[in-house]
Amino acid sequence: MKILEIEGLTKYYGSTRVLNNISFNIEDGEIVGLVGPNGAGKTTTIKAIASLIFYNAGTINICGYNLAKEREKALAKISSIIESPAFYGNLSGIEHLNFIKDLRKVSKTSLDNIIEFIELKDALKKKVRKYSLGMKQRLALGMALLSGPKLLILDEPTNGLDPSGILDLREFLIKTAREQKLSILISSHNLEELDKLCDRTVFIKKGEIISELKHEEVLDYEEYCFATDKADAIGDVLSKLPYVIHHSINTNVVYVQIAKNQLGELITVLLQNNMKFTNLQFVKATMEHKYKELYSEVLCNERIS
């Protein structure tokens, strides 16, 4: 079942078009990453789904409810944590949860389940101003999950978290998505994290979707590195081979990304051209490599400016 359906979403700020014909879906229980450089349109997309901004064209359906026509029903199905969640420092964690429980008319049983789930235990009685960032994240997630949403929207949730906080959050999100069949849309610059978390990733650039890949498709190539004293000449050869996706040279070390199962072909070509190399090693394929491939022009401009 489709939890989120976005079709042709377009948004202007003044005369500037910041989203152009954005379309993608999220299935039940799916974790989807939204990735792109600064200013690509991630937050604008997320704010449009959470109905925090108006959009100029397109449709957004949440659990089959049209956001423009059945706003309340659609919004009842989602929770979002966008930018820093606001807390009342002088209230305790449990007071925050009780506030949402009363506001959203949530049952005591659901509250107890969430309390158990966020594992804040005794800390729930403490005032929130004494919480660490990680504890605040857990509380924010508890508050967001209390109303039993079908879609959770998170904007840069790992910002400011230490490595163990990031690990906790990842485990928490995967557990919630799998156990409660919750769909999650997560915008982040933390590619390594998205690599580990997402079932699918939507890549956005200058307000347009440039690629949409399942987890296994993100890693659809192989990367190798090797040492050589003919790096520049090898670079010239590599740039002409159709199965070479990307290559870079660092003094006498060549990094090359190739389509799957083409290593034998590559070695044959190098040897035929009398290009000797040593220390051939497999480098793990990651989302970061895919990002470099998709946004090479953006990265290049960043380096120049």
Q: Which range binds ligand ATP by CB under 6 A, 31-39, 144-152, 265-273, 285-293?
A: 31-39
Residue 43, interface with ligand ATP (CB under 6 A)? yes
CB of 42 or CB of 136, closer to ligand ATP: 42
Among 29, 33, 41, 93, binds ligand ATP (CB under 6 A): 41
Residue 36, interface with ligand ATP (CB under 6 A)? yes
Q: Which range binds ligand ATP by CB under 6 A, 37-45, 143-151, 159-167, 223-231?
A: 37-45
3-state helix/strand/coil string of the chain: CEEEEEEEEEEEECCEEEEEEEEEEEECCCEEEEECCCCCCHHHHHHHHCCCCCCCEEEEEECCEECCCCHHHHHCCEEEECCCCCCCCCCEHHHHHHHHHHHCCCCHHHHHHHHHHHCCHHHHHCEHHHCCHHHHHHHHHHHHHCCCCCEEEEECCCCCCCHHHHHHHHHHHHHHHHHHCCEEEEECCCHHHHHHHCCEEEEEECCEEEEEEEHHHHCCEEEEEEECCCHHHHHHHHCCCCCEEEEEEECCEEEEEEECCCHHHHHHHHHHCCCCCEEEEEECCCHHHHHHHHCHHHHHHHHHC
Among 39, 119, 220, 283, binds ligand ATP (CB under 6 A): 39
CB of 187 or CB of 257, closer to ligand ATP: 187
Among 3, 31, 42, 51, binds ligand ATP (CB under 6 A): 42
CB of 42 or CB of 247, closer to ligand ATP: 42
Residue 54, interface with ligand ATP (CB under 6 A)? no
Residue 150, interface with ligand ATP (CB under 6 A)? no
Residue 158, interface with ligand ATP (CB under 6 A)? no
Residue 75, interface with ligand ATP (CB under 6 A)? no
Residue 88, interface with ligand ATP (CB under 6 A)? no
Interface ranges with ligand ATP (CB under 6 A): 13, 18, 36, 38-44
